[in-house]
Amino acid sequence: MAVFTHPIVRFIARRLLYSLVVLVGVLVVVFSLVHLVPGDPVRIALGTRYTPEAYDALRSASGLDRPIVEQFFGYMGSALTGNLGVSFRNGDPVALTLLERLPATASLGLVGIVIALLIALPAGIWSALRQGRISDVIVRITSQFGVSIPDFWLGILLIALFATTLGWLPTSGYRPLFDDPAGWLRHIVLPGLTVGLVAAAIMTRYVRSAVLEVASMGYVRTARSKGLTPRVVTFRHTVRNALVPVLTITGIQLATILGGVIVVEVVFAWPGLGRLVYNAVAARDYPVIQGAVLLIAALFLLINLIVDVLYAVVDPRIRLA
Amino acid sequence: MTTVTAETTRVASWRLLLRNPVTVVSALVLAVVVFVAVAATWIAPFGINDVDVASALRPPSGEHWFGTDELGRDVLSRVVVATQASMRIAVVSVAFAVIVGVTVGIVAGYRGGWVDTVFMRVVDVMFAFPVLLLALAVVAILGPGTITTILAIGIVYTPIFARVARASTLSVRVEPFVQMSQAMGTGNLYILTRHIVPNIAGPLVVQTSLSLAFAILSEAALSFLGLGIQPPQPSLGRMIFDSQGFVTMAWWMAVFPGAAIFVIVLAFNLVGDGLRDVLDPKQRTMIEARSKR
């Protein structure tokens, strides 16, 4: 059983256990959501469609007529087996709806993070290597601008320029990647840029400070003093080691994008999880809100877990800590 | 001797802060924004809901500096009054987050043990929800409106302050002057208010400035979605939403409210950065990334 005493296995086990504890907490919060609504959630959800029959039917279908403890364990049990109940609005299984929406959000998130990395890595490294010079100042100011711009405003300005005025790209909408690759690409450019530019601004600052931190380390000085060329010192010693913290922030950013694209999806009529949550909040469709919040929070935890494990694989010091 | 040193450090900090032109300019911009917010009703040249269909969608002019919207309402007046609403929500919600978060963080960090474990696991769970999603969940529970927006943003930013306060408390707690004080039998409350709080103020001030920036962005996003400030009260986010149908014929409807958000957020961010360089140079920016949207 030597495998279980290996530090990396123990680290992963510990990290996994921690994620499970947080996931249970998330489940408690998500379950409580519908019970925290002041008044009767079924009544509120029905709104003008209220009739005593519809009320009773929806109440018993959603299990809200059962004792709360029974409801809680029932919800935990079915959530863990992938049953997230049915929509208040149209009776569709929530889990299925979420699965249908996931690819759109995932593709937007991935395209966004790729754009962000393509900008942030060169800009951050360049800025750090020229610390204090004019190009560093320009990069820092530009990234500060990107952090401060509201993403929905950026999206609308991009639509106004590239779609409405120049007519190069569609204003909104989505095409599935496998049905229509060219259409997918044309439709994802503007929302992808909106998500990517904002993320790039945040990540540039991390890449810059990560590179600066590594550059001040003793081994970089040693490498330089033993006569290695600046290029070798920069790329083999500095940038390579700086990529470890960059990996963490990339994971956090990807997770943040998945949960934060709501507004961008609304601007671009992108049929992802974000717009689903938005419509569900407007319609007070609690099972859908609960399911989407649970899925996004679980993805968030999963990405963080993966990042931590990768981190431990890449940097042995983490496992020992 | 100690007081002289502390005084000298403080003066030096202020000098350092005032030597950074970016921070000074941002602080001046913020001062103007605060003035506009406080005096909004006197500054606004027109009523926010003065409909005048005859002069709808007019470009910026001497009479209407920011142009008019589809109902002929003055965009400048609406931006000014909406700025007031945004600032009010940001300040109140961040104050909520500071009070609750710092209390939780200090108690957790100072007491340690099971109190710390329980508080921090709760914070961990809250961190598992992306910011806007958590805010939307609060809106789903309480229904849209100004009070909900304040509560939603306040709840969302509470864990950040709890973490910053806890981390700082942990490092101050082991300082000799706190341990000495404990050994002398000083009461916990006295130690917390006289030793811990003053010594963790630096990182908290920095975090407050950055959180105000993000709170403005969050409020704008919620209002854009129609879940924040409700009409007829104007909000910067909703003005941008309404401008979507008119972007090509009336760019001013989208540009000015967005620019207002951008300038306010940028100013808070730059002041926060300037403060960090002086008050808390070692702080890692991890929390900052998390608190963005």
Is B150 a residue whose pLDDT tops 90?
A: yes
Task: Name chain A contacts of B240, Cβ cutoff 8 Å.
Answer: 150, 152-153, 156
pLDDT at B144 over 90: no
Measured between CB atoms, which of B125, B132, B225 is closest to A259?
Answer: B132
Q: Pick from B124, B139, B241: which is nearest to A281 by CB?
A: B139
Residue B252 near residue B4, CB atoms below 8 Å:
no
Kindly state whether A202 is in contact with chain B, defined as any CB-CB distance less than 8 angstroms: yes
Nearest residue to A202 via CA among A260, A140, A286 = A140
> What does the pLDDT read at residue A3?
64
Per-residue pLDDT, B273: 83
For residue B233, which of B146, B175, B156, B293 has the smallest C-alpha distance? B146
pLDDT at B172 over 60: yes
Q: How far is B265 from chain A (nearest CA, A)?
A: 5
CB contact under 8 A, B124 and A293: no
Please state, in angstroms and rounded to a whole number, the distance separating the CA atoms of residues B179 and B196: 11
Which of A153, A281, A300 is opposite residue B130, by nearest beta carbon?
A300
Q: What is the mean pLDDT of residues B207-217?
A: 91
For all residues of chain B together, what is the average pLDDT?
83
Bigger pLDDT: B147 vs A36: B147
Q: State how far the Cα of A274 lies from the Cα of A293, in Å rounded to an integer.
A: 10
Chain centre distance of CA B100: 15
CB contact under 8 Å between A36 and B141, yes or no, is yes
Residue A181 and residue A120 in contact, taking contact as beta carbons nearer than 8 Å: no
Give percent of chain B above pLDDT 70.
Answer: 91
Interface test with A, best of B25, B29, B126, B136 (most A CBs within 10 A): B136
Record: contact A281-B273, CB cut-off 8 A:
no
Question: Is there a contact between B266 and A148 if contact means CB atoms under 8 Å apart?
Answer: yes
| Chain A residues touching residue B258 (CB < 8 angstroms) | 150, 153, 156-157
The predicted structure's pLDDT at residue B10? 65
Contact call for residues B26 and B38 (beta carbons, < 8 A): no
Quick one: pLDDT band at residue B5, thresholds 50, 70, 90?
low
| For range B277-287, the mean pLDDT | 56
Judge: B125–A255 Cβ closer than 8 Å, yes or no: no
How many residue pairs bridge chain A and chain B with CB atoms within 8 Å of each other? 152
Residues of B in contact with A280 (CB under 8 A): 140
Question: Pick the residue with more confidence: A49 or B221?
Answer: B221
B136: nearest CB among A21, A156, A281: A281
Q: What is the DSSP letter of A164?
A: I
The answer to whether A148 contacts B269, with C-beta atoms less than 8 Å apart, is: yes
Q: Which residue of B has its CA nearest to A302?
A: B128
H runs (alpha helix) in chain A: 7-35, 41-46, 52-61, 68-80, 94-129, 134-148, 151-158, 181-215, 218-225, 230-232, 240-260, 262-267, 273-283, 286-314, 316-320
Q: Which pLDDT value is given to residue A135?
A: 85
Is the per-residue pLDDT at B86 higher than 50? yes
**Residue at token pair 């707690």:** B173
First-to-last C-alpha distance (Å) of chain B:
45
Residue to mutate among B148, B230, B238, B247, with most A CBs inside 10 A, is: B247
Give residue B9's pLDDT.
Answer: 65
Question: What token pair was written down for A106?
Answer: 């995932």
Are A144 and B221 an interchain contact pair (Cβ–Cβ within 8 Å)? Answer: no
CA separation for the pair B95, B207 (Å, rounded): 12
Contact check, Cβ <8 Å, A281/B226: no
Which residue ranges of chain A lie beneath pLDDT 70?
1-4, 316-321
Does B140 contact A289 at a Cβ distance shorter than 8 Å? yes
Please give, rounded to a whole number of angstroms, the shortest distance from the CA of A180 to a CA of chain B. 28
Mean pLDDT calculated for residue range B191-207:
83
Residue listed under structure tokens 């400070």: A209
Structure tokens at A89: 């609005």
Task: Sort out which chain B residues have CB atoms less than 8 A from A296's CB and list them.
Answer: 129-130, 133
Whole-angstrom Cα distance, residue B141 to residue A120?
38
B104: which 2 tokens? 């939780």
Average pLDDT estimate for B184-212: 84
What pLDDT sits at residue B91?
A: 95
Which of A194, A211, A213 shows the shortest CA–CA distance to A124?
A211
| B224 contacts on A by Cβ (under 8 Å) | 150, 152, 263, 266
User: What pLDDT score was predicted for residue B293?
Assistant: 41
CA distance, residue B184 to nearest chain A CA (Å): 35
Residue to test with chain B: of A23, A140, A145, A147, most B Cβ within 10 A: A147
Q: What's the pLDDT tens digit per position in B116-128?
A: 888 888 888 888 8
Give φ, ψ of B74 to 5 degrees.
-75, 120
Cβ–Cβ < 8 Å for B164, B204: yes
Judge: B131–A255 Cβ closer than 8 Å, yes or no. Answer: no
User: Which whole number is the average pLDDT over B15-35?
Assistant: 85
Q: Considering only residues A19 and B292, tell me which one the structure prediction assigns the higher pLDDT.
A: A19
The residue whose two tokens read 């919040």 is: A293
- Encode chain B in three state secondary structure: CHHHHHHHHHHHHHHHHHHCHHHHHHHHHHHHHHHHHHCHHHHCCCCCCCCCHHHCCCCCCCCCCCCECCCCCEHHHHHHHHHHHHHHHHHHHHHHHHHHHHHHHHHHHHHCHHHHHHHHHHHHHHHCCCHHHHHHHHHHHHCCCHHHHHHHHHHHHHHHHHHHHHHHHHHHHCCHHHHHHHHCCCCHHHHHHHHHHHHHHHHHHHHHHHHHHHHHHHHHHHHHCCCCCCCCCCCHHHHHHHHHHHCCCCHHHHHHHHHHHHHHHHHHHHHHHHHHHHHCCCCCCHHHHHHCC
Backbone angles phi, psi at B129, to 5 degrees: -100, 125
**Which DSSP symbol is given to A37?**
S
Least confident of A65-74, B86-95, B208-217: A65-74
Task: Give which of B86, B121, B125 to mutate to test A binding, by max A Cβ within 10 Å.
Answer: B125
Is pLDDT at B181 greater than 80 in this prediction? yes
pLDDT at B290: 39
Query: Looking at CA atoms only, how far is residue A13 from chain B in angstroms?
Result: 18
Helix axis angle for A240-260 and A94-129, nearest 10°, is: 140
Phi-psi region of B48 (alpha: psi -120 to 50; beta: other; left: phi over 0): alpha
Give the chain A residue nearest B228 (alpha carbons): A282
